[in-house]
Chain A
Amino acid sequence: MNRSFEDVAVGEELPALSVPVTRTLIVATAIASRDYQDVHHDPSLAVERGSKDVFMNILTTNGLVDRYVTGWAGPAAVVKAIRIRLGAPNHPGDTMVLTGTVAAKHAEDGRVEIAVRGVNALGPHVTGTVVVQLNGRSEGSGA
């Protein structure tokens, strides 16, 4: 389903998305993003470098907030910006819950800003904004 620009209202909340942070997810997404830093796959080296375990890489955090917002906005949405700040690491065994709120709409170019937040047991892992461009009701195809 594609959301049109008119369909969304400032203040609207996106349904929460719960992401179980498994060891396999951390490793598989690090490799999918071609990030071979040992802290993302080797537990003993991660501990040696001062971390309690392996942790999710940033490219994956970008990928997950991208998936979260476009999954809500629909296939016609075009991602114009992903601006994130990182906090507590995502370690295996944790769960990150993504939530989002429509923060602003720009009628001149159809852009919608969604404030996103991903929280795990340690606190906020990610806070930021994803900007998507949505079609108007009259345009757009498919849906």
Chain B
Amino acid sequence: MTDYETRLQSWAGRELMAPRFGQDAVNVPMIRHWVEAMADDNPVYLDEEAARASGRDGIVAPASMMQGWTMRGYAASVRPAPEPASEPSAADELNGLLAEGGYTSVVATDSEFEFHRELVPGDRVSVEETVESISPEKKTALGAGRFISTVRTYRDANGEVVATQRWRTLRFRPKEKPEPKALRPRPAINQDNAFWFDAAREHRLVIQRCAECKSLRHPPGPCCPQCGSFEWDTVEASGEGHVHTYVVNHHPRHPAFEYPLVVAVIELAEGTRLIANMTGVAPADVEIGMPVVVDWIDPDPDLSLPAFRPAEKKGA
């Protein structure tokens, strides 16, 4: 057993919290507040007559309120009294030991109450807590952690046990949050090329066409390089083409991309060329002349781009 494990296991059976009385005795106003919030219409909690009709001497508190009677309340929750520096509480000591192991987060997992008698208005309730066991490290959905089981004993003013509660919390190392994935560099969109990126967002590959001489062009521009016309429309590309040439990028690396990264010049069946990434092919298997088809990628919610993957062989 490691030294850390020994120190942790030495807590089994130790008192975590000395007996402490709740601020107020069991009382009707707090019961009313509880049953109203829970929408619990059992009459034995507020109606003396109904309580006596049920075989009791008078009204009782809901069993599930037990823990509530010993809660520290608002002031102690928001303005905790400073602990004397010389005497850290047992709970602080255990928290410190757990933090040493990296177990800094906590979530409650189990509460097992056994009730010995019902509480009635006027009862004063105290609670004390003892560590029962500390589990070996377990892998959980929240992260690696240890289950700490404690037993809380609730007593009345005479020291008689009114309830016990086995309480289990998971103290865990929060999983490292993955870095949010970097976004791809934004395309420089302007009035001349916006139509092309708008179509891409709808997974449509379009090619700009001169309205005068009907020649196709890419990348988009305001003026036909053949005839000089500023009039244009678009045609939908078939999405078929071949690799005209390509490079495999290793460096420098941009965090939005996976490397090695294929950057290809694709010649479309319609004759225009565009630069795109490739999918569904290992960089070593890319070949000049390879037939390809369009395969849309959506790297982030604002960006859709055409990529190309090898076309299935005819007849295959």
Instruction: Give the B-binding residues of A (Cβ under 8 A).
Output: 2, 25, 28-29, 31-37, 50, 58-60, 62-67, 70-71, 75-76, 78-86, 135, 139-142
When the two chains form their complex, are residues A86 and B110 in contact, meaning their CB atoms are under 8 A apart? yes
- Shortest Cβ distance from B135 into chain A, in angstroms? 15
When the two chains form their complex, are residues B37 and A25 in contact, meaning their CB atoms are under 8 A apart? yes
- The interface on chain B, measured as residues whose beta carbon lies within 8 A of the other chain's beta carbons, has a size of 39
Pick from B38, B63, B71: contact of A60, CB under 8 Å: B38
Instruction: Give the A-binding residues of B (Cβ under 8 A).
Output: 30, 33-34, 36-44, 50-51, 53-55, 62-65, 67-68, 71-74, 77-78, 108-115, 118, 174
Pick from B65, B74, B114, B115: contact of A36, CB under 8 Å: B74
Q: Which residue of A lies closest to B33 (CB)?
A: A32
Q: B112 contacts which chain A residues (CB < 8 A)?
A: 81-84
When the two chains form their complex, are residues B73 and A34 in contact, meaning their CB atoms are under 8 A apart? yes
Q: Given the interface contacts A71-B40, A86-B109, does A59 sit within 8 Å of B67 by beta carbon?
A: yes
CA distance A81 to B113 in the complex (A): 5
Q: Given the interface contacts A32-B33, A32-B37, A84-B112, does A76 sit within 8 Å of B55 by beta carbon?
A: yes
Pick from B67, B73, B108: contact of A86, CB under 8 Å: B108
Q: A81 contacts which chain B residues (CB < 8 A)?
A: 112-115
Q: What are 23 inter-chain pairs, A to B, with CB distance below 8 A? A: A29-B37, A33-B68, A34-B68, A36-B74, A36-B77, A59-B68, A60-B38, A63-B40, A67-B39, A70-B40, A75-B42, A76-B54, A76-B55, A80-B114, A80-B115, A81-B112, A81-B113, A82-B113, A83-B110, A84-B111, A86-B110, A141-B54, A141-B55
